[in-house]
Chains A and B, each alone.
Chain A
């Protein structure tokens, strides 16, 4: 059940959606282990895949790899592919080793392209092995056949949602029943400081969060019951939302995402509205934040942005940047869930109208080659893109911002709005300072 006005679906048609070839660069969704193992402190992530997966993780995660991470590859060998070895026995051997060495409270199995193709029955093996080694195993299929980058987190949280305890020893329902409203559970993995910040903002409105998915520890997963309210903090969590609605019979609060002061306010207001709370001081709070952003706003005003698209944060970021006075040409995005992001799309449209800016085209499954052509044509002031294109574009005099930074930086809530603009303006500020060292073209190639 999505809580939003029914006529909105029609209004959305005003935004132009297109779909290209899907030839675009993005991170493999298994990259989600990078932030999830840090978020869930008592977890261990086992990526069941090949050398290709391992090589990606070790390169993408850079230095983190050396801090004895709580994740590893179960590297498939030829014998595994040709089914000469028993998947069950092999996984048992590795998981026992992990249990012995690291003693985690839960092991996540991350399925990859290879386990999909050879149809390894991870979901079937897990419950048996779980019972045998006495350790919960959560299976998430975060593979590049089906998903892009941040959607990896979505598959993990959706899997975790099904593992929610219906009864919890640590957290009895008593705590939840104290609230004046129905229990509210937020979903989306964000750093603990941001969790605290968002909790505080809601607390000011008299709204209590009964739990987070994911919690800091697996053993602290909240109890979730039919009729509870849930709300997402990130735009890429549509499977998790669906799982919570369909499997757990929760009510989803469809709100814009708390990114930027405008998004945060809209998010808070929507939650308040659902619980029948009159929001107080939010308008002032938002204005206060905009006031603090003044310096950055003066830098971005009138500048144009092009999102090549790779992490699904694009709509929310574009909406915030338009509200900040920028002009967005194109929003590339790997996957567009118009239902889950409905409120966000609506706010985007509203923002464009208020700012008197054209509504940008949203391109699902973009084609990077065509996009580079379009970038050459319109020459935007800033291109938000992956690292594969950043240096070549810079060499051609195009300012770029590496998109993955938005995934790892703290960007949610009022407090962190400034961090988004800090990231956005960095190339602009940097290149301004470099003006003296000569031209902006560093290649003769097209």
Chain B
């Protein structure tokens, strides 16, 4: 047992659901107790989705516990098949169903006799993998399933497109600034004259998967989701892939060079160096911005970085290589990706931290007292407590990290966004610091010219206590309203009763 207040990565089934609900016309059925369909709320609220989340539960209740699911799962699958006519139904085990050890594969086999849709059992172990690993695996599983099927039916695409084309693997829901990243990536690839073959899984139909093999290569922008699929495609269809995250000027250039290398090994003589140079110096503002004298002030400032491995590594590189900032430590909660992370940020920071314990992270931040934090929402709150500014660079995130406006982290526009994020975090910190030195803003405490000055109104102790319980930001208003009410009613004394009467009157 582990005492836990907070976790960075969710349970495995969340990963599976994020992938299945990203596809078009794929329905997930969770084998779960009542209340475990919390994923629907997250998708509907954080992403503000307009469609109903294609996830239902085959509810595990006391009867299931006693007798097993019996027909329940099968009939729930067939029911969804008729109601929604999905292409694919993904039966998703949860932590509860894992320990029930029902033969879910058997349900899937039986159901698929009756259904028009395909039926799959998500292959994830709840007690061994987390949200991201499960998402990675589920995507591979679905791709594998449809490619095998296409191979069997001989409908698989065997010829490549005439001109260079690419699959983007890693567009999925509830991911950090993902939608904007994918748009930016598409723009970058079209600048390089590379056609987008498919983007999976977000918005893709499983029927398109047989076309994956048409592309010349794959690009996997995030380490967390898509690598297994890319590996599978490489192994079975000899498709090379690019796994350099184009985040920051330097890494974007590296990513483009890797693409160039792949194209050239396919007998296409391309040279993107000029493009990289123009983009870096003139289209993107961030390289110039780092050069400008304003940014000199950032030199050697202490920062710490924490997040998923993709964003934390990329951010560390940007801070050290592109801004000259001193990253005291960089860390990730993707413990399973330890060796990659250490390799990437080694030499970029004084220390590497691999943990999923938020208390440890908070303690380390307090110890180092950096000028700025780049982390998740959790680190933002730590920053608030310690009065250190924080830029959010990675999931887990809140609703405000799903902005409406265009805010990519990838590509050249992404570099601009990141530069703003870094700079704004620092100036705020500096401003705060100066204010402290010079004694704060010039605002004398506003003396409340409330009505109570004219007439003396006494608050009895019970009412005072009640008033104290009211949150600070409305307390003043409630006090004034109550006193006004008391005055109007010629009452000298505010009791609890008067307070409530005042509330009723004001409303």
Residues of A within 8 A of B (CB): 22-30, 48, 50-52, 54-56, 58-60, 62, 65-66, 69, 72-78, 80-81, 85, 90-91, 93-94, 97-98, 113-114, 116-118, 143-149, 192-193, 196-197, 200, 289, 292, 369, 372, 386-392, 395, 414-415, 418, 422, 442-443, 445
Residues of B within 8 A of A144 (CB): 32-36, 96
Q: With the chains together, A143 CA to B57 CA distance in Å?
A: 16
Residues of A within 8 A of B52 (CB): 372, 389, 392
Residue of A nearest to B44 (CB): A391
**Does B490 lie at the interface of the complex (its beta carbon under 8 Å from any beta carbon of A)?**
no
**Does B110 lie at the interface of the complex (its beta carbon under 8 Å from any beta carbon of A)?**
no
With contact pairs A193-B469, A387-B45, A391-B44 given, residues A73 and B3 touching in the complex (Cβ less than 8 Å): yes
Residues of A within 8 A of B40 (CB): 25, 388
With contact pairs A114-B96, A391-B45, A445-B51 given, residues A56 and B38 touching in the complex (Cβ less than 8 Å): yes
**Does B11 lie at the interface of the complex (its beta carbon under 8 Å from any beta carbon of A)?**
yes
**Does B475 lie at the interface of the complex (its beta carbon under 8 Å from any beta carbon of A)?**
no
Interface size of B by Cβ–Cβ distance < 8 Å?
A: 61
Residues of B within 8 A of A418 (CB): 504, 507
What is the distance, in angstroms, from B251's C-beta to the closest C-beta of chain A?
31
Residues of A within 8 A of B5 (CB): 65, 69, 72-73
Across the interface, do A52 and B45 meet the contact criterion of CB distance under 8 Å?
no
Across the interface, do A59 and B1 meet the contact criterion of CB distance under 8 Å?
no
Across the interface, do A74 and B1 meet the contact criterion of CB distance under 8 Å?
yes
With contact pairs A55-B11, A148-B34 given, residues A78 and B127 touching in the complex (Cβ less than 8 Å): yes
Residue of B nearest to A391 (CB): B44
**Does B48 lie at the interface of the complex (its beta carbon under 8 Å from any beta carbon of A)?**
yes
23 contacts between A and B (CB under 8 A): A23-B76, A25-B37, A26-B34, A28-B38, A50-B11, A50-B126, A52-B11, A73-B2, A73-B4, A74-B1, A74-B4, A78-B127, A81-B127, A144-B35, A144-B36, A144-B96, A145-B65, A148-B35, A369-B56, A386-B41, A387-B41, A418-B507, A443-B50
Q: With the chains together, A67 CA to B4 CA distance in Å?
A: 15
**Does B275 lie at the interface of the complex (its beta carbon under 8 Å from any beta carbon of A)?**
no
What is the distance, in angstroms, from B74's C-beta to the closest C-beta of chain A?
14
* B-side interface mostly: mixed
Across the interface, do B2 and A74 meet the contact criterion of CB distance under 8 Å?
yes
Give the segment of B155-163, B242-250, B495-503 that binds chain A: B495-503
Q: With the chains together, A67 CA to B126 CA distance in Å?
A: 29
**Does B42 lie at the interface of the complex (its beta carbon under 8 Å from any beta carbon of A)?**
yes
Q: With the chains together, A23 CA to B51 CA distance in Å?
A: 18
Q: With the chains together, A243 CA to B57 CA distance in Å?
A: 32
Residue of B nearest to A94 (CB): B3
What is the distance, in angstroms, from B443's C-beta to the closest C-beta of chain A?
27
Residues of B within 8 A of A26 (CB): 34-35
What is the distance, in angstroms, from A73's C-beta to the closest C-beta of chain B?
4
Q: With the chains together, A117 CA to B130 CA distance in Å?
A: 21
Across the interface, do B3 and A193 meet the contact criterion of CB distance under 8 Å?
no
- With A22-B59, A292-B507 known, 13 other A-B pairs at CB within 8 A are A28-B36, A29-B35, A50-B126, A51-B95, A55-B11, A58-B6, A59-B38, A72-B5, A75-B1, A114-B96, A114-B99, A415-B500, A445-B51
Q: With the chains together, A78 CA to B45 CA distance in Å?
A: 32
Residues of B within 8 A of A143 (CB): 33
With contact pairs A28-B38, A72-B5 given, residues A146 and B62 touching in the complex (Cβ less than 8 Å): yes
Residue of B nearest to A67 (CB): B381
**Does B128 lie at the interface of the complex (its beta carbon under 8 Å from any beta carbon of A)?**
yes
Residues of B within 8 A of A (CB): 1-7, 10-11, 13-14, 32-38, 40-42, 44-45, 48-53, 56-57, 59-62, 65, 76, 83, 94-96, 99-100, 126-128, 130, 378, 381, 384, 398, 462, 466, 469, 496-497, 500, 503-505, 507
Q: With the chains together, A69 CA to B3 CA distance in Å?
A: 13
Residue of A nearest to B501 (CB): A415
What is the distance, in angstroms, from A317's C-beta to the closest C-beta of chain B?
18
Residues of A within 8 A of B497 (CB): 200
What is the distance, in angstroms, from B330's C-beta to the closest C-beta of chain A?
23
Across the interface, do B7 and A51 meet the contact criterion of CB distance under 8 Å?
yes
Q: With the chains together, A322 CA to B33 CA distance in Å?
A: 34
Residues of A within 8 A of B99 (CB): 81, 114, 117-118
* A-side interface mostly: helix
With contact pairs A117-B100, A143-B33 given, residues A52 and B13 touching in the complex (Cβ less than 8 Å): yes
The listed residue with most B CB atoms (<10 A of its CB), out of A76, A197, A372, A388, is: A388
What is the distance, in angstroms, from B36's C-beta to the closest C-beta of chain A?
6
Residues of B within 8 A of A192 (CB): 469
What is the distance, in angstroms, from A255's C-beta to the closest C-beta of chain B?
21
Residues of B within 8 A of A94 (CB): 1, 3
What is the distance, in angstroms, from B54's C-beta to the closest C-beta of chain A?
11
Q: With the chains together, A98 CA to B4 CA distance in Å?
A: 11
Residues of A within 8 A of B126 (CB): 50-52
What is the distance, in angstroms, from B22's C-beta to the closest C-beta of chain A?
16
Across the interface, do A395 and B50 meet the contact criterion of CB distance under 8 Å?
yes
Across the interface, do B7 and A54 meet the contact criterion of CB distance under 8 Å?
yes
Across the interface, do B500 and A200 meet the contact criterion of CB distance under 8 Å?
yes
Q: With the chains together, A415 CA to B223 CA distance in Å?
A: 55
With contact pairs A74-B3, A144-B33 given, residues A442 and B500 touching in the complex (Cβ less than 8 Å): no
Q: With the chains together, A75 CA to B95 CA distance in Å?
A: 12
Q: With the chains together, A145 CA to B34 CA distance in Å?
A: 6
Contact of A388 among B33, B44, B59, B381 (CB under 8 A): B44
Residue of B nearest to A62 (CB): B398
Residues of B within 8 A of A58 (CB): 6-7
Contact of B95 among A28, A97, A114, A389 (CB under 8 A): A114
Across the interface, do B35 and A149 meet the contact criterion of CB distance under 8 Å?
yes
Residues of B within 8 A of A81 (CB): 99, 127
Q: With the chains together, A395 CA to B2 CA distance in Å?
A: 42
Residues of A within 8 A of B36 (CB): 28, 52, 56, 144
Across the interface, do B44 and A392 meet the contact criterion of CB distance under 8 Å?
yes
Residues of A within 8 A of B38 (CB): 27-28, 55-56, 59-60
Across the interface, do B65 and A193 meet the contact criterion of CB distance under 8 Å?
no
What is the distance, in angstroms, from A82's C-beta to the closest C-beta of chain B?
9
Across the interface, do A51 and B10 meet the contact criterion of CB distance under 8 Å?
yes
Residues of B within 8 A of A69 (CB): 5
Contact of B50 among A72, A147, A392, A414 (CB under 8 A): A392
Across the interface, do B83 and A369 meet the contact criterion of CB distance under 8 Å?
yes
